[in-house]
Amino acid sequence: MTRPALTDQHLRRKSAEYRRDVLRAIYHAGAGHTGGSLSCIDILNVLYNRVMNISPVNWRDPLRDRYVQSKGHSVEALYVVLADKGFYPFESLEKLCRGGSYFVGHPTRKIPGIEMNTGALGHGLPVSVGMAIAGKLDAASYRVFTLLGDGELAEGSNWEAAMCAAHYKLDNLTAIIDCNTLQITGATRDVCCNEPLDEKFTSFGWEVLCIDGHDVAELTTALSRPAASGKPTCIIARTVKGRGVSFMEGVVKWHHGVPSADEFAVAMAELEGALK
């Protein structure tokens, strides 16, 4: 059975639903990384609903596409998307960050749909390079996607992996940088400036695309490129930390801030409003 393709409008609505679900989960858990989860939602939405060949049905298939969330602190976004894809019921998220729960504050492979334990930064790109090398060795058709934070790029392991990916001509690998320009201490350019990111990745031998990370059409085009260039792809997705909640947008304190009851009500009203 072929499902009807989701329109851009459908996807935008899904993003709004995801943002609402993320905020709800974090509020009830009393913990979580709110700003970064909200900034990467559109990226995950397009990956899981339009680009990647991954579902609970083919989850153990060696030919499935792989997604590694290197910026593991935004796991709430991933949990919500995986629940929507049917990897587990939404109710599972009620256990988020509870004692003994598998739904830990960073990704673990104990959760169906999660490929790799991450959370310590600078780990996702090297393991994704390994997956892409394995794919090349097997002449397999799958693609590997990894989501990085822009602040995370200060970790040197990323650049070891970036060199390696180009050396092995891993055009089956796409790194997406959720470039929300903020990290826990402040603006990334003030903490340890890594600009110009596009030139850095280009000089490391990657194909680089700079796009609006909230535009589902741009994301679709960028993420759907055929893997035939002989180069890994880096998508620099410009995003807004805290996207969708006016008082969170671009505000550092929401990196892992949890809203009060009043703030939650205001935020939910905004997010519900986006659904109308």
Q: Which stretch binds another protein (CB under 8 A): 125-133, 182-190, 191-199, 263-271?
A: 125-133
> Cβ of residue 60: shortest distance to another protein, in angstroms?
10
Told to check if 139 binds another protein by CB under 8 A, we report: no
Told to check if 53 binds another protein by CB under 8 A, we report: no
Burial of 129 (0-12, 13-18, 19+ CB in 10 A): buried
Q: How far is CA 94 from CA 29, 44, 79, 101, 114, in A?
A: 7, 21, 11, 10, 18
> Cβ of residue 129: shortest distance to another protein, in angstroms?
5
Q: Which stretch binds another protein (CB under 8 A): 8-16, 40-48, 115-123, 204-212?
A: 115-123
Told to check if 112 binds another protein by CB under 8 A, we report: no
Alpha-carbon distance 44 to 51, whole Å?
10
Q: Which of 37, 12, 27, 33 is closest to 243 using CA atoms?
A: 37
Which of 37, 92, 128, 172 is in the footprint of another protein by CB under 8 A?
128
Q: Which stretch binds another protein (CB under 8 A): 29-37, 76-84, 119-127, 199-207?
A: 119-127
Phi/psi of residue 264, each to 5°?
-65, -45
Told to check if 163 binds another protein by CB under 8 A, we report: yes
Of 194-223, which residues contact another protein (CB under 8 A)?
none
- Whichever of 119 and 250 has its CB closer to another protein, that residue is 119
- Whichever of 134 and 210 has its CB closer to another protein, that residue is 134
> Cβ of residue 61: shortest distance to another protein, in angstroms?
11
Please provide the DSSP assignment of 89-154 as one string: -GGGGGGTT-TT-S--SS--TTSTT--S---STT-HHHHHHHHHHHHHHTT----EEEEEETGGGG
Q: Which stretch binds another protein (CB under 8 A): 83-91, 108-116, 191-199, 251-259?
A: 108-116
Contact letters (x/-) for another protein, 59-98, by CB under 8 A?
---x------------------------------------
| Token pair for 190 | 């003030």
CB 247 within 8 A of CB 253: no
Alpha-carbon distance 87 to 165, whole Å?
30
Alpha-carbon distance 247 to 226, whole Å?
39
- Whichever of 36 and 135 has its CB closer to another protein, that residue is 135
Which of 31, 134, 210, 258 is in the footprint of another protein by CB under 8 A?
134
> Cβ of residue 161: shortest distance to another protein, in angstroms?
5
Taking each helix axis from N to C end, the angle separating 261-275 and 8-29, rounded to the nearest 10 degrees, works out to 170
Which of 133, 197, 252, 258 is in the footprint of another protein by CB under 8 A?
133
Three-class SS state of 186: strand
Alpha-carbon distance 3 to 128, whole Å?
30
Site for another protein, rule CB under 8 A: 62, 108-109, 115-120, 122-123, 125-135, 137-138, 156-157, 160-161, 163-164, 167
